[in-house]
Amino acid sequence: MPDETFDLAGCLERVRRRDQAAARELVEHLHPLVIRIVRAHLPRRVAEEDLSQEIFLKMFTRIEQYKGSVPFSHWVSRIAVTTCIDQLRAQKRRPEFRWADLSESEAGVLDSVLTSEHDVAPGAALAASELVHKLLDQLKPEDQLVVQLLDLEQKSIAEISEITGWKQSLVKVRAFRARRKLKKLFEELKRMEKS
Amino acid sequence: MNTPDPRWERLAVAARQVRDGRDTAAPPGFATRVAAHAFARAEQPFSALFARFSWRALGFAALLAVVSVAANYSVISAFFSSSDDDSASIEIVNEIVNPS
Distance CA A78, CA A84 (A): 10
At A155, is the pLDDT very low, low, confident or very high (cuts 50, 70, 90)? Answer: very high
C-alpha dihedral sign at A143, A144, A145, A151: positive
Question: How many CA atoms lie within 13 Å of A144's alpha carbon, on the beta-carbon side?
Answer: 24
**By mean pLDDT, which of A1-15, A78-92, A147-161, B7-21 is the weakest?**
A1-15
Position with higher pLDDT, B99 vs B17: B17
Question: Looking at the complex, does the CB of residue B39 fall below 8 Å from at least one CB of chain A?
Answer: yes
- What's the pTM value of the predicted model, to 2 decimals? 0.70
Are A128 and B15 within 8 A, CB to CB? yes
Integer Cα distance of A186 and A190 in angstroms: 6
Chain A, 124 to 153: residues with Cβ < 8 Å from chain B are: 124-126, 128-129, 131-132, 135, 151-152
Work out the average pLDDT over A44-56.
Answer: 89
Question: Residue A187 pLDDT > 70, yes or no?
Answer: yes
| pLDDT score at A93 | 63
Please give the pLDDT value at position A91. 76
pLDDT score at A20: 92
- Any chain B CB within 8 A of the CB of A120? yes
Q: What is the pLDDT of residue B42?
A: 64
Find the mean pLDDT for residues A80-106: 82
Of B82 and A116, the one with more pLDDT = A116
Residue A183 identity: K
**Cα–Cα nearest to A82, from A70, A92, A90, A93:** A90
Chain A, nearest residue to B14 by Cα: A125
pLDDT higher at A33 or A117 = A33
ipTM: 0.78
Residues A18, B4: C-beta atoms closer than 8 Å: no
Query: Could you tell me where the DSSP H helices lie in chain A?
Result: 8-16, 20-40, 48-62, 72-90, 104-115, 125-136, 141-147, 157-164, 168-194
- In this prediction, residue A3 carries a pLDDT of 64
Contact B26/A28, CB-based, under 8 Å?
A: yes
DSSP A69-103: SS-HHHHHHHHHHHHHHHHHHHSPPPPPP-GGGS-
Average per-residue pLDDT for chain A: 88
Tell me which chain B residues have a C-beta less than 8 angstroms from the C-beta of A131: 11, 15
Q: What percent of chain B has pLDDT over 70?
A: 75
Q: Which among A23, A131, A183 has CB closest to B35?
A: A23
Which residue in chain A has the smallest CA separation from B38? Answer: A57
Instruction: Judge whether residue A99 has pLDDT over 60.
Output: yes
pLDDT at B85 (0 to 100): 58
Looking at the complex, does the CB of residue A62 fall below 8 Å from at least one CB of chain B? no
pLDDT in tens, A1-17: 556 688 999 999 999 99
**Would you say B5 and A182 are in contact if contact means Cβ atoms under 8 Å apart?**
yes
- Chain A residues whose CB is inside 8 A of the B27 CB are 49
How many residue contacts between A and B have a Cβ separation below 8 Å? 120
What is the rounded distance in angstroms from the CA atom of residue A114 to the CA atom of residue A32? Answer: 37
Residues of A in contact with B19 (CB under 8 A): none
Q: Among A15-19, A46-50, A60-64, B90-94, whose mean pLDDT is lowest? A: B90-94
DSSP H or E segment with residue B87: helix B86-97
pLDDT tens per residue across span B34-83: 999 988 876 655 666 666 678 888 889 999 999 998 888 888 887 776 55
Burial-class residue B11 by CB neighbours within 10 Å (0-12, 13-18, 19+): buried
CA A128 – CA A136 distance, rounded (Å):
12
Nearest to A164 by CA among A62, A80, A72: A80
